[in-house]
Structure 1
Amino acid sequence: MEKDSTKTGPLAGIKVLDLTGNAPGPYCTMLLADMGADVIVVGGGRAGGPVSTFSPGKRYVSLNLKSPAGTRALKRLVEDTDILVEGYRPGVMKRLGLDYDVLQQVNERLIYCSLTGYGQTGPMSNDAGHDINYIALSGVLGSMGPTDQPPLPPLNLVADFAGGSLFALNGILAALYERERSGLGQYIDVAMIDGCLSMMAMHFPIWETTYMPGRGKNFTGGHFPFYRCYECSDGKYMSVGAIEPHFYVSLCTKLGLEDVPEQMDTNLWDATAARFEAAFKTKTRSEWEDIFDGSDACVAPVLTPDEVWAHPQVQARCPSAQHRSVPPAPLLSRSPLHRGELDESNQTQAVLRELGFTDDDILAAMPDNLAQVELVQAWPQDV
């Protein structure tokens, strides 16, 4: 398959096959595409990903992986592919004849990443689940939320994107680097629960200690008066993270308190929180932003998603970002990342023709319903 000469970035020239759905896999491959990789999404029934914001810079093809022609086409794609990411339940790819043991014989340099919630082994490996289940099983959810209410998940950021997408990306980049020495690819088993467990490295050791005696009672859980959010007079909120003593003093000074309550006296925390609440209620969020601007009090406004893009710090960091469309990150000095254009059209014909497939071969490899559409739309001369 021809190299996409339009791609730039640190992974330009790297080819990726994406056989995932939902969120974690598509987000991981979006990050690879931002880095310059040529990402081809292989769907079995329709072109386009489930979330269009993960789709820029990718190409979409549809193959019937239950047919000999479809699996043959995928293996041809694998011949010069660097990375394959799949998100099926354990055993599915083996039943299709497309597991790592098979595909590494097609391409020994292939890096094959399986991304699932519970991983490839264990009694729950084949169970269905979502982010909330994975953070529940790994102890994350059980340490979140106020003590007098049910645990509250932080969107689906922890398991899906941090424990899933980012740990998959970390493993893929490590395998790419190792391949430079060994010349060989390898298999990566990414379980979202594993990523969540890893991210609890700071919190497991302090559970049921003074620093984290229970759910909602810890430095970063919103229980301590110097690490939580406070409502302003206009109903909006300010976030406070004044953990260090000198930041705490700055917070109290900016709030106009006549004295600085003893920070670590737990007996004073309820009274301290009440004083902070009363102080924040005297002004609007905008007024407090002006007061804390440039200070070392670790205070920032709580912005809603529609407010983010107008904030000066976000505008300075991401001047080209469009409303509701996240920018590529991080910033690299010599090989900057680039967000490609959104094109979810079915490109099965173009991609497989690059591999030398005939029109008949392409139609045979596609799902029947899409093949009929392509027969009419893409090859009217053949009708």
Structure 2
Amino acid sequence: MPERGDAMQPLSGIRVVDLTNLLPGPLATLMLVEAGAEVIKIERPGGDDMRGYAPQWQGTGAAFGLLNRGKTCLTLDLKSADGAARLRSLLEDADVLVEQFRPGIMAKLGFGYEAVRAINPKLIYCSISGYGQTGPRANEAGHDLNYIASTGLLALQPGPADRPVVPPALVADIAGGTFPAVINILLALRQRDLTGEGCYLDIAMTDAMFTFAWRALSGYWASGSLATSGQGELTGDTARYHLYPAKDGGIVACAALEDHFWRRFASVIGLDEALVDDKRDAAATIAAVGAIIASRNAAEWAPVFAKADCCVTIMRSLDEALRDPHFIQRGLFEHRARSAQGATLPALPVPVDPQFRDAASSEKASPPAL
């Protein structure tokens, strides 16, 4: 498929006013930038907190640069008459507004949905918050860990109850905030094509966490049986979906769920035939597999599982993954951000197909200055 130039990007001509900070909103508007939208990021006096985060790169927080490249930044004090007037002017011909304040703050500033709709009835107004704009918990403070804890998702983690593990991914921020925001903004733009009207989007990061509990919910609603920590086919209750330490401390990630993969795995490691039926005594099978895996180093197991092709891999560090020829060949890290001083840094990979990006240049604009 031929690459598209800037003029053919699907969001060319779309102006987004971004009133978000930290992660969920900025990552959402970054994805819109990648698809051709113009994003004007409004920052309070002093700027987004993430500008000061370590490590620093070329005078700004590296994380800020990854999330906000390609945007234009304006400093506005929305509590002042001048700042409010400038925002009102921007909203008159904007297509999308994304905000991430606590519920009610935008209304206090004079920019609640009804007030903005009066300015521009075609605007798509997207609010991202932890618990949504309505309900008893709407104004409760929180971060990602709070959101997965309050929705029951964290209780499904497979670590020992007395040694709980903090997940490595910000699931609520990205999968509950960023992705639903982008999806619904695109749906709203399509709906506006049909109706000519804008709309209001209430994105609650906690809402999508129940989507991630799909397996536990299906069992609970169908049978009344509630999975707890470490229980369930996908949370450590079976030998087929388990993490096994190798002799050298490397981790073998086994996901041989289907019977043909499981039997292939059992065969190449030499599992006792009496334990292959893991439903008889799951704990015994897990222990036996664990002992076998622990008898050899991860590097010794790697070619065995690669040849067997049985949904079993060796856990890699992030550094090792960045050097994987597969991801390099797919061009995940070719996209780069350039600083005002001319230095470059790999751009954060985002799930926007390359055909929708600006094909005229492999380097996006530098992290925006205030």
TM-score range, shorter chain: 0.7 to 0.9
Partner of 1:289: 302
Q: Counterpart in 1 of 2:236?
A: 222
2:134 to 121, 128, 152: 121
Partner of 2:329: 316
The answer on whether the counterparts of 1:47 and 1:345 sit within 8 Å (CA) in structure 2 is no
Per-residue Cα deviation, 1:137-182 (whole angstroms, up to 9, x for no partner): 2111122233532543423522111111111112111111111101
Say which SS state the counterpart of residue 204 (structure 1) adopts: helix
Residue 271 to residue 130, structure 1, CA distance change in 2 (3 Å): same
Is structure 2 residue 320 aligned with structure 1 residue 307? yes
Q: Secondary structure at the match of 2:319?
A: coil
Instruction: Output the CA distance in 2 between the equivalents of 1:116 and 1:337.
Output: 30
Partner SS for 2:202: strand
Report how far residue 23 of structure 1 moved: 1.4
- 1:5-40 Cα shifts (integer Å, max 9, x gaps): 967632222111111122111111111112221111
Range with bigger deviation, 206-215 or 291-300: 206-215
- Give the partner amino acid of 1:295: A
2:224 corresponds to 1:200: no
Structure 2: gaps of 5 or more residues: 51-62, 337-344
Q: How far apart, in 2, do the equivalents of 1:337 and 1:243 lie?
A: 40
1:221-279 alpha-carbon deviations (Å, 9 max, x no partner): 12311111111222111211011100101111222335373334242x22211221122
Distance 1:121 1:24 in 2: 19
What is the CA distance between 1:47 and its match in structure 2?
4.0
Q: 1:55 to 1:260 in 2, by over 3 A?
A: farther
- Structure number with bigger Rg: 1
**Larger deviation: 323-332 or 284-293?**
323-332
- CA 1:79–1:48: 2 relative to 1, 3 Å: same
After superposition, the Cα gap between the structure-2 partners of 1:266 and 1:114, relative to the gap in structure 1 and judged at 3 Å, is: farther
Amino acid at match of 1:343: P
Residue 9 of structure 1 aligns with which residue?
Answer: 9
1:56 aligns with 2:80: no
What CA RMSD, in Å, does the superposition of the two structures yield over aligned residues? Answer: 2.5
CA separation in 1, counterparts of 2:90 and 2:198?
Answer: 16
How many angstroms apart in 2 are the aligned matches of 1:177 and 1:146? 43
Does 2:369 align with 1:345?
yes
- What is the aligned partner in structure 2 of residue 44 from structure 1? 44
Residue identity in the other structure for 2:130:
G
Measure the CA separation in 2 of the matches of 1:328 and 1:79: 30
Matched residue SS, 2:136: coil
SS at match of 1:70: helix
C-alpha contact (below 8 Å) 2:25/2:98 kept by paired residues: yes
Q: Is the 8 A contact 1:57 1:343 kept in 2?
A: yes
Q: TM-score, normalised by structure 1?
A: 0.81
Question: Structure 1 149/163 Cα, relative in aligned 2: closer, same or farther at 3 Å?
Answer: same
**What TM-score, normalized to structure 2?**
0.84
Q: Indicate the SS of the match to 2:203.
A: strand
The letter for the 2-side match of 1:276 is: V
Q: Is the 8 A contact 1:83 1:113 kept in 2?
A: yes
Q: SS of the counterpart of 2:243?
A: strand
Which whole-Å CA distance do the structure 2 matches of 1:289 and 1:36 have between them? Answer: 42
2:263 is the alignment partner of 1:253: no
Going from structure 1 to structure 2, the CA distance change for 1:83 and 1:178 (only over 3 Å counts) comes to same
Q: 1:197 to 1:92 in 2, by over 3 A?
A: same
Q: Distance in 1 between matches of 2:184 and 2:121?
A: 17
Question: Alignment partner of 2:168: what SS?
Answer: coil
Residue deviations 1:333-354 (CA, integer Å, cap 9, x gap): x4347772332212xxxxxxxx
Bigger mean CA offset, 240-249 vs 307-316: 307-316
Q: CA deviation at 1:331?
A: 2.7
Q: Is the 8 A contact 2:43 2:75 kept in 1?
A: yes
Match of 1:349 in 2: none
Indicate the larger mover: 235-244 or 140-149.
140-149
Aligned to 1:24: 24
Return the offset for 1:319.
5.3
Residue range with higher mean Cα deviation, 318-327 or 69-78: 318-327
1:194 is displaced (CA, Å) by 1.1
Q: What is the identity, as a one-letter code, of the residue corresponding to 1:28?
A: A
Q: Give the C-alpha shift of residue 80 in structure 1.
A: 1.8
Q: Which residue of 1 aligns with 2:349?
A: 327
What runs of 5+ residues in structure 1 fail to find an aligned partner? 347-383
CA distance in 1 between counterparts of 2:225 and 2:253 reads: 20
| Structure 1 residue identity aligned to 2:349 | P
Contact 2:72 2:368 in 1 (8 A): yes
Corresponding residue number in structure 2 for 1:155: 168
- Is contact 2:126-2:200 (8 Å) kept? yes
| Paired AA for residue 84 in structure 2 | T
